[in-house]
Chain A
Amino acid sequence: AQKVTQAQTEISVVEKEDVTLDCVYETRDTTYYLFWYKQPPSGELVFLIRRNSFDEQNEISGRYSWNFQKSTSSFNFTITASQVVDSAVYFCALPTSGTYKYIFGTGTRLKVLA
């Protein structure tokens, strides 16, 4: 069965600290994709990144970076120099094999304190 685990329920950091959000997944597929979404306090779900299983290079976008490691089945998300606007719930998601249904993790609530 496929599964996504976000063990960190809530994280609080002080502004300008770096923070890493963990995502561990289970799948038997040899080819798969992983996604990260952000849900700010306003409630909408915002797509952040898609990564396929063929590409284990780290991805960096501004203060955001993603570390994909197939050996540990992890797709972790790091925010460098966090800001108050980064406060949100972050979800990791894995499409189920053969369908377009996402399995979402339970989310990690990040609070960045000024």
Chain B
Amino acid sequence: DAGVIQSPRHEVTEMGQEVTLRCKPISGHNSLFWYRQTMMRGLELLIYFNNNVPIDDSGMPEDRFSAKMPNASFSTLKIQPSEPRDSAVYFCASSLLGTPYQPQHFGDGTRLSIL
């Protein structure tokens, strides 16, 4: 079975540009999570969706960040305008909620560098 698929794997762009990260969750999973990982702050949950509906976006750093999940098989995380401090590895994870605390399965991540 295919795991969580993220694209692109690497993104380098200049400050001020719009960045869009993409995620395809595991088929049949009903929840999706976006994380950011940096050396300074470790793994931070940005937002999570249940059945395509955003449940908790309290981790989204500011209005420059937005996330959508238009259907069960696709989600985007957008940063506009990007800043150098947004440089990090962004992970998408999916899980099957309903049965408590099923493991989250992570994609390979997108390494984002903002120059």
Interface residues, chain A, with chain B CB atoms under 8 Å away: 33, 35, 37, 42-47, 50, 52, 91, 95, 99-102, 104, 106-107
Contacts and interface: CB of A to CB of B under 8 A. Distances in A.
Contacts of A42: 108
A45 B95 CA distance: 14
Given A47-B105, A47-B106, 4 more contacts: A91-B43, A99-B56, A101-B48, A104-B43
B73 interface: no
Contact of A50 (B48, B93, B103, B111): B103
List 9 A-B pairs, minimum CB-CB distance, nearest first.
A45-B106, A33-B101, A47-B103, A44-B108, A104-B43, A95-B101, A50-B103, A43-B109, A106-B42
Interface of B: 31, 33, 42-43, 45, 48, 50, 56, 89, 91, 93, 95, 97, 100-109, 111
Give the interface SS of chain B, mostly helix, strand, loop or mixed: strand
A44 B42 CA distance: 14
A42 B106 CA distance: 13
* Residue of B93, B100, B101, B108 ringed by the most chain A CB atoms within 10 A: B101
A88 to B, nearest CB: 14
Contacts of B105: 47
Contacts, number: 45
Nearest to A45: B106
Nearest to B59: A101
Nearest to B45: A101
A2 to B, nearest CB: 13
Contacts of B56: 99, 101
A44 B101 contact: no
A114 to B, nearest CB: 26
A33 B42 contact: no
Contacts of A37: 106
A44 B106 contact: yes
A45 B31 contact: no
B100 A102 contact: no
6 contacts: A44-B109, A91-B43, A99-B56, A100-B31, A100-B33, A101-B45
A43 B104 CA distance: 16
